[in-house]
Amino acid sequence: MSTVFSKSVPGREGVWPDEPKTAPIDFIPQHLLREGDAGLPSLSELDVVRHFTALSRKNYGVDSNFYPLGSCTMKYNPKFTEEVAALPGFARLHPLTPQLPGGGDMSAGCLEVMHETERCLCEITGMAAFTLHPMAGAHGELTGALMMAAYHADKGHKKTKIICPDSAHGTNPASAAIAGFEVVTIESKDGIIDPAALAAVIDDETAGVMMTVPNTLGLFERHLPEIVALCRKVDALLYYDGANLNAILGKLRVGDAGFDVVHLNLHKTFATPHGGGGPGSGPVGVSERLIPYLPISRVQKDEAGRFSLSYDHPKSIGYVAPFYGNFGVVLKAYAYILRLGREGLIRVSESAVLAANYLRARLAEAIEVPYNRICMHEFVASAAKLAAEKNVRALDIAKALLDKGYHAPTIYFPLIVKEALMFEPTETESKDTLDQFVADLLDILAQAETDPEAVRACPTSLPVGRLDETYAARAMEITDDL
């Protein structure tokens, strides 16, 4: 499909404001002005509407396709929260408002939403306090790592290392490194953290351990109590990557289990649309001892029930974001929490875990599941045997699924399983959908045995077939002007 720029017709009129009475040159001298125009397209409103409608039809979203993308929790996003976020009282409020004299009262609705969301998240996770500022999960990790650094610096500890198990999300080591730490990786045993491996590397210079629970294999970390004890011994802080919270609502609280820091991905567990790669929202919860280091500002409620922002926290790590996080996303998550309530949230995890185990049990007959035991909200299968015998790889199965109208599972992740296919059905998919998916996947696996060539040729029904990624990296055509 041609680009929007090639559809431009000089002189065609879009959505224009009125003509100004003056020109910029009347106020700004020539040498400070642009030479030549910016080359944005000239299109009619209908041109633009048709172009983007056509583009949207070349996309898979949860609204159109089952999306069992492991570790991404692509569940249904309720529609009414979009209306909530678009309410003018929220959408039109300027973020500097609470910094004006008397501004707390002028933004009382937003501050109350933030205050109440923090309270709910504290109760859900068992943490002592929350900040909503981080704008994505990885941003939350960085915020957590910065707080860990500030805690140790304040205590006069010399801590240089953070330990990340190989079963943790790949962003964990990246965030620890960006915060200035040296990263130490430990290998899992039987799919989970081996306390002996941790004991061998943890020492006085360890600032913290970053864990993903359930881990990237969809498994619960059974040795949690031993891991907590090992950390306590050297005053290392324990970080919980809560991206997989969808599995444990009402079943495990991070704070009760002894963790010091947790980030949540609101767009996952609390169902806000991810829009093709963002926005997200990554609030961070902390235990009592890390409260002084939370980013500023912090929301406060006084005895009269009035809300304000406080900035006077001398030990705070500072601003991790210009304002108060992705407020629009927080708002949707808060409305979602209110809608489901206590029982609904517990049911989310129960149904998500049930659906994952059902899919695992059904698929295990046809494809190898290396850790074929009760899993949490996701599980990992392996196409290693098929790859060895028929040269049909995880990638080929993924592409064949696209042809059948499904978004593919996550592939080649986690790195500790060969030819990995990671499935996460989520709680919002019906049994009918799961059954049909199993039937279609079994078809693909059967075809891989009899006609592997055909599977390797997939996808054949989409706007494009498999794309040359090597050429893309080499030629680097990243704008329409090259």
399 binding another protein? (CB under 8 A):
yes
d(CA 322, CA 341): 31
Q: Which residue, 362, 363, 380, is CA-closest to 371? A: 380
Cβ-based neighbour number of residue 472 at 10 Å: 11
Mode of pairing for the β-strands spanning 161-165 and 206-212: parallel
Report in angstroms how near the CB of residue 249 gets to another protein at its nearest. Answer: 8
Question: With CB under 8 A as the contact rule, which of the stretches 198-206, 382-390, 444-452, 468-476 interacts with another protein?
Answer: 468-476
Chain residues 211-240 in contact with another protein, contact rule CB under 8 A: 220, 222, 224-225
Considering the complex, state which of residue 452 and residue 459 has its C-beta at the smaller distance from another protein: 459
Considering the complex, state which of residue 96 and residue 388 has its C-beta at the smaller distance from another protein: 96
Q: Which residue, 172, 227, 164, 166, is CA-closest to 191? A: 166
Report in angstroms how near the CB of residue 285 gets to another protein at its nearest. Answer: 14
Chain residues 242-301 in contact with another protein, contact rule CB under 8 A: 248, 250-253, 256-257, 271, 273-281, 295
From the list 209, 286, 320, 455, which residue makes contact with another protein (rule: CB under 8 A)?
Answer: 320
Report in angstroms how near the CB of residue 71 gets to another protein at its nearest. Answer: 10
404 binding another protein? (CB under 8 A):
no
- Token pair for residue 68? 């069992």
Q: Which residue has the tokens 């109440």?
A: 116
Q: Which residue has the tokens 């979203």?
A: 61
* Residues ≥6 apart with Cβ < 8 Å to 216: 71, 167, 168, 169, 380, 413, 414, 416, 422
Report in angstroms how near the CB of residue 478 gets to another protein at its nearest. Answer: 5
Taking CB under 8 A as the rule, which mask of x and - marks residues 5-34 in contact with another protein? x------xxxxxxxxxxxxx-xxxx-xxxx
Size of the site for another protein (CB under 8 A): 205
209 binding another protein? (CB under 8 A):
no
Considering the complex, state which of residue 9 and residue 388 has its C-beta at the smaller distance from another protein: 9
Report in angstroms how near the CB of residue 364 gets to another protein at its nearest. Answer: 10
Report in angstroms how near the CB of residue 59 gets to another protein at its nearest. Answer: 3
Partners of 129 in the beta sheet? 286
* Residues ≥6 apart with Cβ < 8 Å to 200: none
317 binding another protein? (CB under 8 A):
yes
Chain residues 425-464 in contact with another protein, contact rule CB under 8 A: 427-431, 459, 462-464
Asked if 365 and 372 count as a contact pair (C-beta separation under 8 A), the reply is no
Q: Which residue, 142, 158, 122, is CA-closest to 287? A: 122
Question: What is the chain's alpha carbon radius of gyration, rounded to the nearest angstrom?
Answer: 25
3-class secondary structure, 131: strand
Considering the complex, state which of residue 196 and residue 475 has its C-beta at the smaller distance from another protein: 475
From the list 66, 68, 77, 393, which residue makes contact with another protein (rule: CB under 8 A)?
Answer: 77
Asked if 223 and 193 count as a contact pair (C-beta separation under 8 A), the reply is yes
From the list 128, 174, 366, 384, which residue makes contact with another protein (rule: CB under 8 A)?
Answer: 174
Considering the complex, state which of residue 35 and residue 302 has its C-beta at the smaller distance from another protein: 35
d(CA 461, CA 353): 32
d(CA 160, CA 156): 12
Chain residues 105-164 in contact with another protein, contact rule CB under 8 A: 105-110, 112-113, 120, 123-124, 126, 135-139, 141-142, 146, 149, 164
SS (H, E, C) 216-258: CCCCCCCCHHHHHHHHHHCCCEEEEEECCHHHCCCCCCCCCCC
Cβ-based neighbour number of residue 364 at 10 Å: 13
Question: With CB under 8 A as the contact rule, which of the stretches 102-110, 232-240, 384-392, 441-449 interacts with another protein?
Answer: 102-110
Question: With CB under 8 A as the contact rule, which of the stretches 99-107, 196-204, 230-238, 447-455 interacts with another protein?
Answer: 99-107
Asked if 195 and 226 count as a contact pair (C-beta separation under 8 A), the reply is yes
Considering the complex, state which of residue 234 and residue 323 has its C-beta at the smaller distance from another protein: 323
* Residues ≥6 apart with Cβ < 8 Å to 380: 70, 216, 217, 218, 369, 370, 371, 414, 417, 420, 421, 422, 423
374 binding another protein? (CB under 8 A):
yes
Amino acid identity of 175? S
Chain residues 327-366 in contact with another protein, contact rule CB under 8 A: 327-329, 331, 335, 337-348, 350-351, 353-355, 357-358, 360-362
Report in angstroms how near the CB of residue 417 gets to another protein at its nearest. Answer: 15
Question: With CB under 8 A as the contact rule, which of the stretches 43-51, 230-238, 382-390, 443-451 interacts with another protein?
Answer: 43-51
372 binding another protein? (CB under 8 A):
no
Please report how many Cα atoms fall inside a 13 Å half-sphere around the Cα of residue 463, on the Cβ side: 9
Considering the complex, state which of residue 1 and residue 201 has its C-beta at the smaller distance from another protein: 1
Question: With CB under 8 A as the contact rule, which of the stretches 91-99, 286-294, 379-387, 448-456 interacts with another protein?
Answer: 91-99
Considering the complex, state which of residue 157 and residue 362 has its C-beta at the smaller distance from another protein: 362
